[in-house]
A and B are shown apart, each in its own frame.
Chain A
C-alpha cells in the first residue's frame, strides 16, 4: 500500500457525492467503467439541466483508496461545469491534484473514462429523445 497524499486520504475518509441518481431519468448520464476482476469499478452519474450544465454528480466505486478518491474528486469538479468543459477533464489533472503515485495512475485514467462514459450516456439519451 503506497503512502498516499493528504488529499487522497481526505477524499477517501470524507468522500464527496457518494450515492446514486435515477439512471432512467433522461437528464441523467451514467458511466460505469472497470471490471470487478481487475479490482476497480467506477460508476459515475451526472445530472444535466436544459442549458447543458451539470447540476449534480454522484459516484459509487469498488476499488482501492485512490480509485475512491479519484471518483470523489471527479464529482466535485463536474458540478457546475458545462458538458463541454466536463469533457475536457484529463486524467493527468486528477493525478496531479491527488499526487497519485505511479502505480495508481490507472485510477485517474478510470475516472476520466467514467466521466466520458457518463457524458456519452447523457448525449445518447438526449439524441434518442427517450427517457429510458
Chain B
C-alpha cells in the first residue's frame, strides 16, 4: 500500500520505529527516575536502562560501554569532539584537518576555532565527493592535533576511506574524529577496524527519537581526553554534564540494536531499491547526472541532477513526494549546495539536484510510483525550459557524464 506523500527524505530524519517507541514508553511515566539518583530504586532503574542502552550503542560500533558519552544529538557530539580535542591538546599544536563537504556542525565549529587562532585545512574532495588518505597525510604537520572526516556524506551518500585515513592518523599520532551520523547502523562501522578515536552518532537518523545522540570517545590506545564544553554535575565521566534523557537514551539503544540486527538484509534491500529508482529514471530520462560515488556510497541515498529544470520546481510539481534539493531556492541562502559545489558540480546542476534517501519503510511500490511521478514532472518542466530548448537546438555539448 502506498502512503502518500511518499517519504524519501530519511537522511533528514526517520520516523521512530514502533519497537523503539514501545521500549521508551515506560521510561516517561513508570520508570521516570533520574539516572544519577543513587539513593533509591527509581534512580537505579533509570541507571540500569541507561547502562543497557549504552552497551547496545557500543555493540553497534564494536566499542566498550564506557566509551559512549550521551549528548543531545550529532551537532553537539561534533562540537564536543572538535572543540574538546582542540582545547585539551592545545599544547601539542593548533592545526585541524577536515573536508569541505563536512556537515556544518563540523565546518562551523572549525571556523569558530579559526577565529580563536586555530589553523584549519579544508581538503577539497574529488568529483565523487571523496578525499583520499594521501590527501590527509600530506596535510599533516607537526602542529596537527585532529583529523575530522565524516564517514558518509548526508547529501550524496559518498563514503570516505575511513579505514585508510585511520591508518594514517594512527601512524602519524594524530587523533581522528568521524561524524558517522549517516553511516552507523546503515553500513558496518567498527571503531577498532577503522582506527577512529571519536565518533558522532544521532538517534533520529536510525529510527530513534530526536534530541539524543552520542559521542564515542576512545579509552585505550590512546586514551582520548576532552576539554569540558558543558559544565555541571559531572555526568558522563565528567565529559558532558546534564541529567540524562532516559527515555530518549533507551530508544536510542533499542534503535541501535535493531539497526545492528537488520543491517545486512536492510543494506541489500535498500541498495536494490535505490538501483531500481535510478534504473527507472535513467531509462526514461536523458540528461540526468548522478552526484556522488557510483559504488562507494550508502545503500539508500541517490543524489541526481536533472539538467535544465530547477529543483524547487521539481518538488512543487511532484506533489506527493517528500525529498530535498540542493537548489538555492529551497534554502535561505542564494547559493546552491556547498557540498555539490565542492565536488566541482556546475551551479546550474546544483540548482537541478534532488536527494532521494530511502529507508526502512520504503517499498517497491513507493519507488515505482516515484519513478513515474518524477519522469512526468521532469518531462513537463523541460517542455517549458528555455535551456532544454536551447540544448535540443544546438545539441548537448557540455562535458558532463550523464547517467545511463
Contacts and interface: CB of A to CB of B under 8 A. Distances in A.
A63 B308 CA distance: 9
Interface string B336-359: 100000000011100100000000
Given A15-B384, A32-B386, A43-B386, A62 B328 contact: no
Main DSSP-derived SS at the A contact region = mixed
Given A1-B330, A32-B386, A37-B348, A64 B308 contact: no
Contacts of A103: 332
A60 to B, nearest CB: 4
Please indicate which of the listed interface residues B308, B316, B387 has the most CB atoms of chain A within 10 Å of its own CB.
Answer: B316
Contacts of B388: 62
B383 A62 contact: no
B403 interface: no
Given A1-B329, A12-B316, A60 B348 contact: no
A129 interface: no
Given A1-B330, A39-B310, A39-B327, A61 B336 contact: no
Interface residues of B, number: 26
A89 interface: no
B329 A64 contact: yes
Interface in A88-132: 103
A9 B315 CA distance: 12
Contacts of A67: 310, 313
Please indicate which of the listed interface residues B334, B385, B389 has the most CB atoms of chain A within 10 Å of its own CB.
Answer: B385
A1 B316 contact: yes
Contact of B386 (A38, A61, A64, A65): A61
Contact of B387 (A4, A18, A36, A65): A36
Contact of B310 (A15, A18, A43, A63): A63
Given A64-B329, A65-B313, A39 B348 contact: yes
Nearest to B334: A38
B386 A62 contact: yes
Contacts of A20: 389
B165 interface: no
Interface in B299-349: 308-310, 312-313, 315-317, 327-330, 332, 334, 336, 346-348
A15 B383 CA distance: 11
Contacts of B308: 62
Contact of A1 (B315, B348, B385): B315
A38 B388 CA distance: 16
Nearest to A107: B329
A20 B393 CA distance: 13
A70 interface: no
Contacts of A41: 386-387
Nearest to A59: B384
Contacts of A32: 386
B381 to A, nearest CB: 8
A54 interface: no
Contacts of B385: 60-62
Given A20-B389, A39-B329, A62 B315 contact: no
A43 to B, nearest CB: 4
B386 A39 contact: no
A33 to B, nearest CB: 10
B327 A68 contact: no
Interface in A1-59: 1, 4, 9, 12, 15, 18, 20, 32, 36-43, 59
A64 B310 contact: yes
Interface string B377-404: 0000001111111000000000000000
A62 B312 contact: no
Given A39-B328, A42-B386, A61-B384, 5 more contacts: A9-B316, A39-B327, A39-B348, A61-B386, A64-B313
8 closest Cβ pairs, A-B complex? A36-B348, A37-B347, A43-B386, A39-B351, A64-B329, A64-B312, A60-B386, A65-B316
26 contacts: A1-B312, A1-B315, A1-B316, A1-B329, A9-B316, A12-B313, A12-B317, A36-B351, A36-B387, A37-B347, A37-B348, A39-B327, A39-B328, A39-B336, A39-B347, A39-B351, A41-B386, A43-B386, A60-B385, A61-B386, A62-B309, A62-B310, A62-B388, A64-B310, A65-B312, A65-B316
